[in-house]
Amino acid sequence: MMRRFGFMLAAIAVLGFTAWQAQARFGAHQDDENKAEQPRNPKLSEKDTYMDLNTGKAFQFIYDDLNGIYNRSDLLQPDLYVNTRTKDTFWLYDAILVNHALIRDDNGIYRVNPMKVKRDGDSYRVVGASR
């Protein structure tokens, strides 16, 4: 009787572990599919060179296929940066175009003019920027 109970307990443990592994594999597969569906940001290019507006350091964006995001080649967080080919100024990871929506403080640091940006869902958009 005790032997039969031990065998049943071991069988349940093996089946439970197998089911857990299958669920983990299925979940990982679903995560991969979701990441594959995320489109790349068309405003960023791995071929272009960018310049940090406040430090003057040049960098490139590298697309991280595993996480579905762009990272700077120097691993710093993007704030305000200029595409040296197009001369467009972008803000944050979303690459929000902020041409003509910048101010420079007394210390010479560029910032986005809060009067010219508006919250738009999870991101921002420039409003009322005049040339």
Instruction: Give the whole-angstrom CA distance, residue 95 versus residue 49.
Output: 14
Number of domains in the chain: 2
- Is residue 2 domain-shared with residue 66, that is, in the same domain? no
What confidence tens digit (pLDDT) does each residue in 28-56 have? Answer: 545 555 555 567 888 999 999 999 999 99
What string of DSSP letters covers 13-62?
A: HHHHHHHHHHHHHHHHHHHHHHHHHSPPPTT--SSS-EEETTT--EE-EE
Residue 2 has pLDDT above 80, yes or no: no
- Is residue 33 domain-shared with residue 54, that is, in the same domain? no
Residue 44 lies in a domain: no
For residue 104, give every residue at least 6 positions away whose Cβ sits within 8 Å of its Cβ, in sequence order, or none.
110, 111
For 64, the domain range is 50-126
pLDDT for residue 40: 85
User: What does the pLDDT average to over 87-109?
Assistant: 93
- Is residue 61 domain-shared with residue 22, that is, in the same domain? no
Residue 122 has pLDDT above 60, yes or no: yes
